[in-house]
Amino acid sequence: MAHGEINHVEFPADDPERAMRFYTAVAGWEFGEMPEMPGYHLFRSGEGHGGAVGLRSVTIGATLRLYIEVSSIEEALVASERTGGTTKEPKSDIPGWGWFAVVTDPEGSEIGLFEPLPRP
C-alpha cells in the first residue's frame, strides 16, 4: 500500500451476522475475528485491502467509514485542521499493525487515517 490509497472500510450494522451473510453472498467475503477486537469481523477483498463489519456505534462507528493510508498520522492531522477538517478521534495504537485516527472533512464525512508499522 502507499500513501493516499484506500485500504480499509468499516460497515456498521444493527445485526452484524445478517450483514456478514449479505456480504458473503454478494461479494464472497470470508470473515474472521481478532481476539483482541471482539465483535470486529474482518474480511479481505484483495491484497492489502479489506475491512470489517461490526455492531453500529459499539464495535464500529455509526456510519460507513473509509480508511486512507498515510505516511504520517501527525502530518495528516495537521493538514486536516489546516484545510477545515476536525479531529474526531486522535491517533491511537493498533497493536502489531500501526496507528489510526479519524477526521471529519469540511463537508461532514468521517475519514479514517491509517499509518502502518514500518516494514522490515
Q: Which domains does the chain have, with CATH numbers?
A: 1-69 (3.10.180.10), 77-120 (3.10.180.10)
Cell reading at 117: 508499522
How many beta carbons lie within 10 A of that of residue 119, not counting itself? 5
Within 1-120, where are the H helices?
16-27, 73-82
pLDDT at 49 over 80: yes
Which pTM does this prediction carry? 0.85
* 119 to 6, 67, 98: CA distances (angstroms): 18, 19, 10
* Mean pLDDT of all residues in 51-56: 96
* Predicted confidence (pLDDT) per residue in 89-105, tens digit: 999 999 989 999 999 99
